[in-house]
């Protein structure tokens, strides 16, 4: 049995982690635990680096708070201004006792109305709810689901990044370094 600790109670993140692990390790029996831990970054990270740091901090804090597991997973969404536009993406960090894997979602550009609200200090999920007249979309399909009519929803977006973060664990001999 593989025991996972996901640094979130958000059902979208938990589902993405579970599906990603099942796809990479189809024969494994998986037990998932959830913990709420701080990211150590702003509620809405405003750069690629800040989002990655938030995911890494969540993973470390999950490991500290719940040490009896095989893997700890942190997910942190971020936005970044590029010229006059704003793109959205997320980082996934997976850690075991021996290795750390990182994966990033694809990025997409936000509508100006959403980006303007984020620039005013709102989190992306709150901005989406205002523009799209929704409630708690970040625990549902998220901005990507709203913008693609659920062709890609938030869980699918995260799942691919989970799989990418698991590459070092699937190919341990290529990634482990002697200490």
**What are the chain's domains?**
2-108+152-175 (3.90.950.10)
pLDDT digits (tens, 9 = 90+) for 97-147: 999 999 999 999 999 999 999 999 999 999 999 999 998 888 788 899 999
* pTM of the entire predicted model: 0.94
Q: In this predicted structure, what is the pLDDT of residue 49?
A: 98
Tell me the pLDDT of the chain (179 aa) as tens digits: 999 999 999 999 999 999 999 999 999 999 999 999 999 999 999 999 999 999 999 999 999 999 999 999 999 999 999 988 999 999 999 999 999 999 999 999 999 999 999 999 999 999 999 999 998 888 788 899 999 999 999 999 999 999 999 999 999 999 877 65
Cα angle, residue 25 at apex, residues 21 and 31 outer, rounded to 5° = 55
Of the candidates 145, 106, 104, 103, the one whose C-alpha atom is nearest the C-alpha of residue 124 is 145
Give the span between the Cα atoms of 94 and 100, in whole angstroms: 6
């Amino acid at each position: 049995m593989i025991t996972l600790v996901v640094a979130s109670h958000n059902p979208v993140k938990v589902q993405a982690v579970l599906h990603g692990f099942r796809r990479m390790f189809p024969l494994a029996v998986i037990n998932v635990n959830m913990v709420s831990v701080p990211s150590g970054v702003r509620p809405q990270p405003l750069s690629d680096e800040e989002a990655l740091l938030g995911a890494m901090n969540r993973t470390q804090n999950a490991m500290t708070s719940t040490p009896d597991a095989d893997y700890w997973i942190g997910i942190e969404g971020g936005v970044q201004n590029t010229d006059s536009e704003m793109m959205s993406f997320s980082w996934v960090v997976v850690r075991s006792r021996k290795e750390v894997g990182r994966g990033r979602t694809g990025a997409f550009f936000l509508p100006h109305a959403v980006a303007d609200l984020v620039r005013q200090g709102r989190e992306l999920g709150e901005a989406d709810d205002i523009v799209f007249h929704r409630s708690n979309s970040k625990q549902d399909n998220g901005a990507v689901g709203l913008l693609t009519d659920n062709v890609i929803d938030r869980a699918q977006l995260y799942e691919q990044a989970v799989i990418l973060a698991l590459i070092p664990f699937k190919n341990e001999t290529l990634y482990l370094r002697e200490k």
